């Protein structure tokens, strides 16, 4: 992937993830038509897109950012701490996805699904906003 396009791609992926969050919240808020099959399909696509995004972010972006910072003799302590915090958020999201891994799990606990997904959506959205305002802007500096 071209150097300049990585940020564009990551932000586009964020926008797609934000749309999944909104769509899942909308689907799970429709009390009379809580369609677990549709919700499950959207959750599965969300999970697939999230894995793809995290792979690019963790295996390419953060690795290269740290390499560039170290090459310019920058202190990477806070950036590494930020990355570790983001990995903690990933674990929470993956735990949710593991708990609600299929339609039956969603159907058997719709209220828990909705409550927990609201939290997941808020945490993920905050993470994406912080990345875009913070570490993504570092890319051009190094």
Whole-angstrom distance, CA of residue 75 vs CA of residue 125: 27
The predicted-structure confidence for 10-59, as pLDDT tens digits, reads as follows 999 999 999 999 999 999 987 677 899 999 999 999 999 999 999 999 99
Do the Cβ atoms of 76 and 62 come closer than 8 Å? Answer: no
pLDDT of residue 3: 62
pLDDT, residue 139, reads 87
Whole-model pTM: value is: 0.92
Q: Domain coordinates of the chain in residue numbers?
A: 5-141
Q: How far apart are CA 118 and CA 50, in angstroms?
A: 16
Mean pLDDT of 90-100: 96
Per-residue pLDDT at 33 = 78
pLDDT at 100 over 90: yes
């Amino acid at each position: 992937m071209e150097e300049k396009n990585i940020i564009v791609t990551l932000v586009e992926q964020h926008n797609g993830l934000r749309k999944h969050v909104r769509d899942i919240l909308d689907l799970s808020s429709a009390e009379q038509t809580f369609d677990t099959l549709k919700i499950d399909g959207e959750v599965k696509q969300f999970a697939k897109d999230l894995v793809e995004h995290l792979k690019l972010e963790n295996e390419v972006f953060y690795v290269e950012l740290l390499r560039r910072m170290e090459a310019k003799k920058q202190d990477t302590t806070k950036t590494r701490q930020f990355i570790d915090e983001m990995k903690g958020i990933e674990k929470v999201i993956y735990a949710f996805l593991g708990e609600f891994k299929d339609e039956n799990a969603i159907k058997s606990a719709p209220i828990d699904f909705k409550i927990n997904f609201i939290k997941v959506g808020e945490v993920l959205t905050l993470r994406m906003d912080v990345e875009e305002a913070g570490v993504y802007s570092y890319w051009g500096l190094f």
